Amino acid sequence: MTPIDYALTALFVPLAAAFAIAAVPPLRHAGKPAAWISVIAALTSLGASLVLLVQQLAQPDRVVHEVVRWIPNGSASLAEVGIHLDGVSISMSVVVTVVAACVQIFSLGYMRDEPPAALGRYFGYHSFFIFCMMLLVISPNLLQLFAGWELVGLTSYLLIGFYFQKPSAAKASVKALWVTKFADMGLLLGLICLFAVSGAFEWTAILPEEWATTITLLLFLAVVGKSAQFPLHIWLPNAMEGPTPVSALLHAATMVAAGVYLLVRADPLFAQAPNTQLLMAWLGGFTALFAAVLATVQTDIKRVLAYSTCSQLGYMVCALGAGSPIAGYFHLTTHAFFKALLFLAAGSMIHAVHSNELSAMGGLARRMKLTSAVFIIGSLALAGIPGFAGFFSKDLILEAVYDAGLFVPWTMLIVAAFLTAFYMGRVVFLAIFGPFSQASENAHESGFSMTGPLLLLAVGSLGIGYFGPEFALLSGGSYHFHVGMSGMLGAGCAVAGLLLSWLIYGARWLPTQAFSFLAPIERLAQSGLVDRFFEFAYRRGALAFSDAVGFFDRYVIDGVINWIGWTTIMSARRLRKSQTGNVRDYVYAVVAGTVVIAFWGLSR
């Protein structure tokens, strides 16, 4: 089998599974068989991706680029679709399929109590998601990437709204769709501009100087929406209405990372626009800090993790802005592992206590030893404690941002590193240690289908950080690991953050009044300032504009049309009187008319 065959297998087996589940109602309604088909498809996809990865490691600079003409234009083509396999796309497809397979197996246990038909629907969406994401990952140009981009947006909508009977879930899915579609407008416009100036949708295009900033800004707008950067991050916390494994796969590990993947892929374009890169660095840094601040006051475990995802994506965007795609991409990979692990472990805990609230948990370390252990591993990796995956990639980002001379974003990232450790410590000390609640008293460990994927991801979260050199080999960058000033400072802040959270929530040495410094943040988080801003912009801006357009349509355009109709009716009412029905009148009229025409003709 050629690499293309493996790629096609990884791409189309999940699609076939999704199609089978969608098109054969008895299969879908049966639930369990559909789930198994989906899991097998995911594992096939994973296997094919792993084969490609092994081949790629043997020949790191191999690039397989196979396209077919999509929109022919004479002998040339306006657009192409196909497969582009290089180190970046292969490693990303491995990340996607590993997490997807883990999440699907986890879902077998987590979604056990769903009705069979809902279970079939759930797994159908999941298989379809793998297809869409792979389509995005292995795309040879930005146009196919855009197709995959929109499709993952659709699956995100469907999966957030999985419990569509719940009004909050239905609203959250629509909100996610609206916000990301608004941002995707930027991608579409950017692609149109790109095609206008370069005649193709390649990410290697050389942009004219006057267009570079415009095009990259438009592309970046889409990234801001998809990767939940400030101020379009508002959909991500609401997206937690979906089932927890969905949050792990789509809204933590893979789909939201598609934005960063786009930045990595289109780095040759962004490298031509220093202004856009500067904006990326600042916005990424600000998002990292802002979301980390909000994460410190959430009481819902999934919302803590959601804001944490925003924050970590901010790190990646900032790294890309600092001109270091490898740092951002490495953090994407490690983040996919430990954030999927955290979400799935949180799912396991939620499954045990039937609540998302931190207050309902507590003392789970004594009831769910394995889940607690992997959750702590994930937290340490996220916090960037030395030795865990997050440490290596975060160190790389901090060094890159510092070296690029972006001092303010770098400071924001350092503070965010402190806060990251603080809020994860808070979750750990409240949910895993701490006193029992009524629900957690009776909690017990989840089954093997849930703990198995957790173990696998925990191994990834522990180990993936040490594969930096292989990673650099694949993505064609250089990787010199050294703990410099930034890395030490970041790790120091992380330890300090953990210590502070232990003092407040673990040992309770600091009195409750110590919490009062969080009160303004809590008010900020509850007020939903950004949401309110968009609401205002929508009401006062979009709706007012629509009203004005509606007024013009109703009273000006319709007015003209109605006036024409009214005039016709009135003149008809008058002219009808000339129809006397008398033959002789008509004869006179004909003769008179003939005479007039004859004279008119003669006089010319």
Partner 1 sequence: MTVQALLLLTSGLFCIGIYGLLSHRNAIAMLLSTELMINAVTINLVTFSQFSGGVTGQVFAIFTIALTVAEVVVGLAIVILLFRWRREIAVDSANDLRH
Please report, as ranges, the residues that interact with partner 1 according to CB under 8 A.
576-577, 579-584, 587-588, 591
What does the angle CA 371 – CA 377 – CA 380 come to, to the nearest 5 degrees? 140
Smallest separation, CB 593 to partner 1 (Å): 13
Nearer to partner 1, 583 or 602 (CB): 583
Nearer to partner 1, 164 or 588 (CB): 588
In angstroms, rounded to a whole number, what is the distance separating the alpha carbons of residues 226 and 522? 26
Smallest separation, CB 572 to partner 1 (Å): 10
Nearer to partner 1, 76 or 572 (CB): 572
Secondary structure element (H or E) that encloses residue 77, with its range: strand 76-85
**231: cis peptide before it, omega within 30°?**
yes
Smallest separation, CB 554 to partner 1 (Å): 35
Smallest separation, CB 543 to partner 1 (Å): 50
Smallest separation, CB 563 to partner 1 (Å): 25
- What's the residue count for the chain? 604
Nearer to partner 1, 482 or 577 (CB): 577
Nearer to partner 1, 537 or 598 (CB): 598
Nearer to partner 1, 196 or 589 (CB): 589
Nearer to partner 1, 438 or 582 (CB): 582
Smallest separation, CB 600 to partner 1 (Å): 18
Residues 6+ apart with CB under 8 A from 302: 240, 244, 247, 343, 346, 350, 356
Nearer to partner 1, 71 or 595 (CB): 595
Q: How many CB atoms lie within 10 A of CB 465?
A: 28
Instruction: Return the structure tokens found at 358.
Output: 């931190």
Nearer to partner 1, 542 or 589 (CB): 589
Smallest separation, CB 581 to partner 1 (Å): 3
Residues 6+ apart with CB under 8 A from 222: 149, 183, 184, 185, 186, 187, 190, 259, 262
Secondary structure element (H or E) that encloses residue 83, with its range: strand 76-85
Smallest separation, CB 578 to partner 1 (Å): 8
**Cα 319 versus chain centre, distance:** 18
Nearer to partner 1, 63 or 596 (CB): 596
Smallest separation, CB 570 to partner 1 (Å): 15
**Cα 201 versus chain centre, distance:** 22
Cβ(226)–Cβ(260) below 8 Å: no
Residues 6+ apart with CB under 8 A from 574: none
For the chain, helix (H) and strand (E) counts, in that order, are 28, 2
Nearer to partner 1, 204 or 580 (CB): 580
Nearer to partner 1, 488 or 591 (CB): 591
Strands 76-85 and 64-73: antiparallel
Instruction: Return the structure tokens found at 468.
Output: 């930096």
In angstroms, rounded to a whole number, what is the distance separating the alpha carbons of residues 191 and 420? 36
Smallest separation, CB 577 to partner 1 (Å): 7
Nearer to partner 1, 442 or 594 (CB): 594
Instruction: Return the structure tokens found at 204.
Output: 């290697």
Cβ(108)–Cβ(120) below 8 Å: no
Strand partners, 71: 79
| 175-209: burial string, b at 16+ Cβ within 10 Å, e else | bbbebbeebbebbebbbebbbebbebbbbebebee
Residues 6+ apart with CB under 8 A from 400: 319, 322, 323, 324, 327
Helix, strand, or coil (residue 112): coil
Cβ(443)–Cβ(352) below 8 Å: yes
Smallest separation, CB 582 to partner 1 (Å): 5
Smallest separation, CB 566 to partner 1 (Å): 20
Smallest separation, CB 604 to partner 1 (Å): 21
